[in-house]
Chain A
Amino acid sequence: MDEELTYVNDAGLRLDGRKVDELRPIKITPSVLTRAEGSCYLEWGRNKILVGVYGPREALPQHIQDPTKSIVNFVYRMASFSVPERRNPRPARRDIEISMVCSNALERALLVNRFPNTKIDIFTYIMDSNAGTRVAALTAASVALADAGIPMTDLVSSVAIGRAGGTLITDLTKEEEDAPDAVDMAFAMLPNTEEIVLMQMDGEITKAEFDELVELGSKSCKKVYEFQKDALKGKFKQNDESVN
């Protein structure tokens, strides 16, 4: 950085003009693909995510099957051109870890015990990125799962929260993630029961900041949930109209 940036100005506004607890613009479109059983295209700030869902379908090879439940297989991938420096299309260790924690987050919401010996595949692709791709992918994933009609107890809503320039903020941009004192916490919740199903953090914070971030994350997830609900309602409204 050439000079020290002011991440939150005297008026309480951030570099991109947002308030500390304000989300970037979110646009969610379900049912964008015809082959996948459920799908979703999500634009969140400059992030662009495509998700397709299949299942529950037979888990193969057979030895991976679990007679007590369906395997939740969330796959996180980045397109080679989705980042400033071209990325090798092969999955990186980061992708594999994100895939695992997001699988766990979704499993809490899915009624996996109803579908023994099967798997539910959720393929998420980051087509363009600017900070917060995993929470965007997870948010899009539960919309695609609902689009596929796979039974769930709740959606999973997700957001990144953290700190830049000494202030706790929601939904960090790349610029804010690069702050010298940056803290970046991925957070996901079942919005109706307030169960936390994903939490990861980079950086260093105090217990008081942590407590505050949990509240900020919870509040922000509920806002994300409204976008998810609206997108799904829009879809079913459309279906109603086509019946008439």
Chain B
Amino acid sequence: MESDSALWELKKEKVLAKMRENKRIDDRDFLQYRDIKIEQGLFQNAEGSCKVTLGETVVYAGVKMVPGDPYPDMPDEGTISVLAEFMPLASPTFEPGPPSKESNELARVVDRGIRGGKCLDSKALCIRAGEKVWVVFIDMYIANDGGNLFDAGSLASVGALLNAKIPKYEDDKLVQGEYSGDLEVKTLPILTTCAKIGNTIIADPSLVEEKAMSARFSATTLEDGRICAIQKGGAYSFTKDEVKRIMDISMEKGKELRNLLR
């Protein structure tokens, strides 16, 4: 329960009222993203790290690489693990404790984009087939919830991978603090989210717009135009025409955000 939920109701009303005049609450164009800032390589102990500021939203992502056992059915492929921690300092409604449904969803959607988009070459993450492979841990930490954690989290995760180095592994041991090279990133999967408020589709919903939206639609796209992850959210529906149009928007916005990572 948000402690000031009555206030949010009023803010929500304002979003809807403005939308009736064909305007967004912060006067952005319907498909315009908020300002984005990407900072990489912030933390020495992480193999790769990235902080994304999207409007008021702040997300950190860090990569750690750990030698582990391969899956029996994929003896020569490394694995990835994606987690999201909603730091309780990021919102008065976030509670310390085990991952919430929302944090689980965020991690799963980001995971699907990176996995489905073959962002990493899993065979290149093999140390010794059938024995040792790299496990790539991508951990997101949500520091300030200003809305659209999906896009910020995904961008931070890919940003951290782009910044990551592979630890030195010698005589079956990790050599702490030394690296054998850069982690190779094959594709740049970009997650973009649209929200439906009334009958209007907007990109990059802010927190108050998320409160006013009836449904959201997120898609991860690649530079060659392929789509590698989709997640529809919220209790309302989209028409066929709407989902097709949103996919076009995702392609276009995906290009825009991808350029920021390069």
Interface residues of A (CB under 8 A from B): 33-36, 39, 46, 48, 50-54, 57-58, 75, 77, 79-86, 89, 121, 123, 125, 127-130
Contacts and interface: CB of A to CB of B under 8 A. Distances in A.
B56 interface: yes
Chain B, interface size: which category?
20 to 34
Given A81-B49, A128-B42, A33 B90 contact: yes
A81 B89 contact: no
Given A36-B89, A52-B89, A54-B92, A81 B44 contact: no
B96 A75 contact: yes
A39 B85 CA distance: 18
B257 to A, nearest CB: 22
Contacts of A53: 89
Given A79-B60, A80-B139, A127 B43 contact: yes
Given A34-B144, A128-B43, A123 B88 contact: yes
Nearest to A58: B3
Contact of B141 (A35, A46, A125): A125
A86 B66 CA distance: 8
A41 to B, nearest CB: 9
A48 B62 CA distance: 13
Nearest to B93: A35
Interface string B39-63: 0001111110100000010101011
Interface of B: 3, 42-47, 49, 56, 58, 60, 62-64, 66, 83, 85, 87-92, 96, 137, 139, 141, 143-146, 174, 176-177
Given A79-B62, A128-B43, A35 B139 contact: no
A75 B45 CA distance: 22
Nearest to A53: B89
8 contacts: A33-B58, A36-B144, A52-B87, A54-B92, A80-B62, A82-B46, A123-B96, A127-B62
A82 B45 contact: yes
A128 B141 CA distance: 13
A81 B83 contact: no
A244 B23 CA distance: 31
Contact of B176 (A39, A46, A54, A84): A84
Contacts of A89: 83, 85, 139
Given A123-B96, A128-B42, A80 B83 contact: yes
A123 B89 contact: yes
Nearest to B61: A81
B97 to A, nearest CB: 10
